[in-house]
Structure 1
Amino acid sequence: MSDLRLVIFDVDGTLSDSLGEIRAAMAVAFDEVELTLPSRDEIKRIIGLSLAEAMPLLAPEVPPSTHARLVEVYKRAYQQNRLAAGPEHSPLFPGMRALVQRLSQEPETLLAVATGKSRRGLEALLDVHEMRGYFQSIQVADDHPSKPNPSMILTALAETGVAPERAVMIGDTRYDIDMARAAGIASIAVGWGYHPLSELSQATASVETPQGLAAAIDRLTGEK
């Protein structure tokens, strides 16, 4: 197992551009409880966290019962919007499908997902884009504490048997980068997501394009 490497992807803001769908579901949820919808930038700041962690940050003035209601309505609205949108839901960022496909064909490379999405939401997204079979380990908010707790990464390492020095986390938010640091693995910050690269300086590397991402993965996992 020592010659294997593990490449772990965040989803929202890294693999797929989900901001429009997230904001639309937030609008329904906040309207339901008669609260003012947070701004676009405020919503971008919480992407990557589990919903239970995100709602108190977006609506700190209301009690936990209202946060729970926001989560419930958000999940329902997101699912309804996903079903209505079909294949147009949460499009993949340009170049990411090709990169995942290429990596999945390498015998020494295992792929994983670590996301704040629910299992149902993630599986629906992967099915829409016909990508479910590419990932050997799938870690979701249903089963773990919210990022940046390292539980998702530690579980992916345990499931695949890959050593930490042969693993890398790819993400677009500080939650991804902090999670990787807490788990003791390298990280790559991508420049097309929801937190600016200027705020992700703790990442081991940063990239602006999928082509640059492929080279960074090789460099940080010991591949030539």
Structure 2
Amino acid sequence: MKPALLLFDLDGTLSDPGEGITKSVQYALLKMGIREPDLKKLEGFVGPPLQVSFAERYSFSEQEVERAVSYYRERFIEKGMFENKVYDGIPKLLSGLKQEGYKLAVATSKPSVFAEEILKFFQIERFFDFVAGSSLDGKGASKTEIILSVMNHFQGVHKEEMVMIGDRKHDIIGAVNTGIRSIGVTYGYGSMEELEEACPSVLVSSVEELKRLLLKNTVQL
């Protein structure tokens, strides 16, 4: 069945936020007394909820996680949010999808207030019918909860008509948990192994391949 509603992850799918996120994490860690000079080692923070990543990677207590997230946002709000770039071809893809009559939503674990600001900064907010993100306190940040929020907004659209598009396992797992199809994109921050283990409906390696899949229907989802 051809999808009617496409849910796009933001970080690593629509845009490459690596510089801003890793530098903001680096800043937060330094404020917490941890020096990490290698930004590559912090790329795992791109995608999952910050609260989860700080807790899992550094065994921070709940109070330490709150402090780390607060420090992260000091830098992120000032400059990190805009150390970011839209992947080549994304605006053209979104425009084409709207012309074809698709409903589009952003489904991100990033707080909604930041996601909306980034979409406006890149002038692509007009393509989206709905933006679903987490709250600033980290509640509702799991991709399953985010997808359910989108479903609740589009109650007239059946699950069979929805597809989640993302670059990390969390996107695919969220789709599986909510019973919708998924497209894993390997041009973002998730490895091929990570995505394959999560069992997406299909994998694509570039924005151009994603465009061919969705606009020319070259692959049956």
Q: Tell me, yes or no, whether TM beats 0.5.
A: yes
State the TM-score bracket (shorter-chain normalisation): 0.7 to 0.9
Structure 1: 5+ residue runs without aligned partners? Answer: none
Name the counterpart of 1:214: 211
1:7 is displaced (CA, Å) by 0.5
Moved more, 160-169 or 7-16: 160-169
Equivalent residues of 2:163, 2:183 under 8 A apart: yes
Q: Say whether 1:73 aligns with 2:71.
A: yes
Name the counterpart of 2:19: 20
Name the counterpart of 2:158: 163
Counterparts of 1:222 and 1:199, CA distance in 2: 22
**2:15 match: secondary structure:** coil
Change (3 A) 1:147 1:38: farther
Equivalent residues of 2:3, 2:162 under 8 A apart: no
Counterparts of 1:221 and 1:158, CA distance in 2: 28
2:142 maps to a residue whose letter is K
Equivalent residues of 1:38, 1:58 under 8 A apart: no
| Deviations 1:154-205, CA, capped at 9 Å, x for gaps | 2212212211111101100001110111111111111111111222111110
Change (3 A) 1:136 1:221: farther
Structure 2: 5+ residue runs without aligned partners? Answer: none
1:35 maps to a residue whose letter is I
Counterparts of 1:82 and 1:45, CA distance in 2: 16
Equivalent residues of 2:110, 2:141 under 8 A apart: no
Residue correspondences, number: 215
**2:105 match: secondary structure:** strand
Change (3 A) 1:144 1:67: closer
Counterparts of 2:139 and 2:104, CA distance in 1: 19
1:40 is displaced (CA, Å) by 4.1
Q: 1:135 aligns with which of 114, 125, 128?
A: 128
**2:54 match: secondary structure:** helix
Change (3 A) 1:222 1:190: closer
Counterparts of 2:164 and 2:34, CA distance in 1: 35
For 1:154-193, list aligned pairs within 5 A.
Answer: 154-160=148-154, 161-193=156-188
Counterparts of 2:77 and 2:218, CA distance in 1: 37
Equivalent residues of 1:168, 1:220 under 8 A apart: no
1:103 maps to a residue whose letter is L
1:214 maps to a residue whose letter is K
1:113 is displaced (CA, Å) by 0.5
Counterparts of 2:220 and 2:4, CA distance in 1: 9
Equivalent residues of 2:26, 2:39 under 8 A apart: no
**1:68 match: secondary structure:** helix
Q: TM-score, normalised by structure 1?
A: 0.86
Equivalent residues of 2:21, 2:45 under 8 A apart: no
Q: Give the superposed CA RMSD.
A: 2.5
Counterparts of 2:63 and 2:149, CA distance in 1: 31
Name the counterpart of 1:51: 50
| Deviations 1:62-94, CA, capped at 9 Å, x for gaps | 3221111000010121011147x5xxx310011
**2:16 match: secondary structure:** coil
| Deviations 1:35-81, CA, capped at 9 Å, x for gaps | 23385454333422222222102211x32211110000101210111
Equivalent residues of 1:48, 1:147 under 8 A apart: no
Counterparts of 2:77 and 2:17, CA distance in 1: 13
Counterparts of 2:19 and 2:142, CA distance in 1: 22
